Amino acid sequence: MDYEHFKGRSLLCWLDYSAAEITALLELAKRVKTESKSGQVRQRFLGKTIALIFEKRSTRTRCAFETAFGEEGGHPVFLSTADIQMGVKESLEDTARVMGRMFSAIQFRGFKQETVETLAAFAGIPVYNGLTDSYHPTQVLADIMTLEENFGSAKEKNLCFVGDGRNNVARSLMVICAKLGVNFTIITPAVLAPDHDLVKRCAPLAAESGARLRISDKLEEVKDAHALYTDVWASMGEEDKKAERKALLAPYQVNSSLMAATGRNDTIFLHCLPAVKGEEVSAELIDGPQSRAWDEAENRKHTIKAIMLATLGAV
């Protein structure tokens, strides 16, 4: 695919991208990973700058953006919202306008999806969603890449998310799977089911791609899964819900016996990380041979580099 038409675009949520475009970004990510493994040094972001705005903590996302941008000759600038004027001494719109005059791109991680949407509307440069309460799009591109590395293609494979079904990662997986024809099941207690509006938006996409989307509270639904995926029971910003979630989700821990319940001997385990070992996943599973969580973390860098290369017109 010609990457020209990605130039200048933001990534706020995969609903804004077609299946062909997502596939092209995955192809580019594979290429970038091969280049990186063979020690090639490129300078495709030379003379470019990116603002990395963080309202919430991060290890992987920050490191992936900083290293991917920096090693290609670009200059990343980390900005904690505790230090800048954004939304405190000036409006979000004004910060966006000013940053748009100084940077080549912006990454935002924080609470509201509307914040990243406003930045994109007013900055006039590509804005990347590095996680909000609603979506975590860069994460799930790395997840699909990891599935492809293990099973050749992700299409028609069965991915099963077990845990807090209404969180940003589960929601983003639903969107990308619906687009790409990956069968996706969320196993979660009924009170943590994803919101109906999103399910309604994904249903026609799944019908078009051939993906089967299911939401259930039954652990037996892991049957035939190629991958079991989980995430923390209380996401950033929900620390006060921790006790309630623990009580609700304790029966949904992903461990070796749940992996065995897929009935497949090649099921892999995925986790976006950070993980609370002993809660959503057992230590023996995440640290054991079925876990691909560490490849998945590495793939954050390659996929994020691909997104930036395409949208900055630097492929």
CA distance 252 to 248: 8
Whether residue 63 lies in the annotated active site: no
- Name the phi and psi angles at 54, rounded to 5: -125, 120
Give the CA dihedral 87, 312, 272, 224, nearest 10 degrees: 130
205 binds, options ligand CP, ligand NVA, none, Cβ within 5 to 8 A by partner type: none
Residue 273 as a binder of ligand CP (CB under 6 A): the answer is yes
Query: Residue 120 carries which side chain, given as an amino acid letter?
Result: A
What phi and psi, each to the nearest 5 degrees, are found at residue 235? -75, 170
Q: Which of 143, 231, 245, 253 is catalytic?
A: 231
Beta bridge partners of 86: 90
The reply on whether position 52 binds ligand CP by CB under 6 A is no
* Binding residue count for ligand NVA, defined by CB under 6 A: 9
- Residue 16 annotated among the catalytic residues of the structure: no
- Nearest Cα to Cα of residue 32 among 51, 19, 20, 45: 45
Q: Which is nearer to ligand CP, 67 or 209 (by Cβ)?
A: 67
Q: Of 195-234, which residues contact ligand NVA (CB under 6 A)?
A: 231-232
By the rule CB under 6 A, 235 interacts with ligand NVA? yes
3-state secondary structure of 38: coil
**168 binds ligand NVA per the rule CB under 6 A:** yes
Please identify which of the residues 171, 226, 271, 300 carries the catalytic annotation.
300
85 binds, among ligand NVA, ligand CP, none (CB under 5 to 8 A by kind): none
Q: Which residue has the tokens 């998945």?
A: 296
Q: How far is CA 154 from CA 157, 210, 259, in A?
A: 5, 12, 19
132 lines the binding site for ligand CP (CB under 6 A): no
Which residues of the shown chain bind ligand CP in the complex (CB under 6 A)?
A: 58-61, 131, 139, 272-274
Which residues of the shown chain bind ligand NVA in the complex (CB under 6 A)?
A: 131, 167-169, 231-232, 235-236, 272
